[in-house]
Amino acid sequence: MTSLTRILDADRRLIDARLRLELRVGQEVPERLAAAMRYAVLGPGKRIRPVLALEAFRAAGGQDVESVLPFCAGIEFIHTFSLIHDDLPSMDDDDLRRGRPSLHRKFDEATAILAADGLFAFAFELFARAPGPAEPKVEAVRMISSAVGPAGMTGGQMLDIESARSSETKAFKPRARPIEVHRRKTAEFIAAAVVAGAVLGGAAPAVQQRLRQAGLALGLLFQMTDDLLDMEQASEAGRTTMVSAVGRVRTASDARSQATRSTGVFASLGARYRILAGFPKLILHRRS
């Protein structure tokens, strides 16, 4: 096992412990809702976004992890919220998530929607009560909100739905370019996780800009590898993917280009960012 893998495994354990802690909700939360939230969050997951936030915080000089762990947990809550919505019958209509029944199949559709809503709101409660100076916290929240809002993840999901519907009905309507869907739906949030962690760690504005560039490339790389891994699945038929638009060979080539770009930007920031610079290779060669 490489030193990078050991570090990331330790990060995941730390974040998983924090997720379990935050989900020990009291009796004021209905038990069925609490159980659904725990099922969705605590199942198998890579924790890529919170790990990126944690490592960016450390690379930027952050010392007290208690000031960033609430953001790590909240970021994972928001990611889980998006997956629950993705799986709903009105969206992608997926019966499985991470090898288990998706939340609306395990419980029911109404419970799944409410669990997603609860996790989204809970994330911002965690952000608000995180220790530390107000100014970097507010800026980190602004970045995350923008990345998941109507111009980011939510808008990307809308473009994805519109593209799928136009394909099904053969309507004469321009389909969104896959790269635009992926930037909004995936890359913006991954970039926000990186930059938010760095902001909390005290990164200068110029460094934040470079990290955003690296994070966007990393997010596009992640979605391209997702498309390559998912291309044989029936559930992907009719959806906007890089593979369906430009083919497997071009998608693989573009993924390598994004990996090179992301690695180069992270590495250009110096030795403290070496762990982040190792991420693109891991994502490029992932198998799940």
* Residue that the structure tokens 């982040």 belong to: 276
Per-residue model confidence (pLDDT) at position 235: 54
Per-residue model confidence (pLDDT) at position 240: 67
Cα separation, 163 vs 87, whole angstroms: 17
Per-residue model confidence (pLDDT) at position 1: 46
Per-residue model confidence (pLDDT) at position 239: 67
Ordered DSSP codes for 210-249: HHHHHHHHHHHHHHHHHHHHHTT-GGGTTS--HHHHH-HH
Instruction: Give the number of domains in the chain.
Output: 1
- Phi, psi of 95, deg, nearest 5: -90, -20
Burial 122-151 (b: 16+ CB within 10 A, else e): bbeebbeebebeeebbeebbebbeebbeee
The domain spanning residue 74 has which CATH number? 1.10.600.10
Per-residue model confidence (pLDDT) at position 79: 98
Q: Is the pTM of the predicted complex or chain greater than 0.85? A: yes
Domain boundaries, position 16: 3-284
Cα–Cα distances in angstroms (integers) from residue 108 to residues 30, 43, 118, 271, in the given order: 15, 17, 15, 48
Per-residue model confidence (pLDDT) at position 28: 95
Per-residue model confidence (pLDDT) at position 165: 72
Q: What single-letter amino acid sits at 203?
A: A
Ranges of the chain with pLDDT below 50 = 1, 172, 234
Apex 140 CA angle, 151 and 194, nearest 5: 85
Cα–Cα distances in angstroms (integers) from residue 98 to residues 44, 79, 81, 156, 266, in the given order: 6, 14, 14, 22, 29
Per-residue model confidence (pLDDT) at position 241: 84
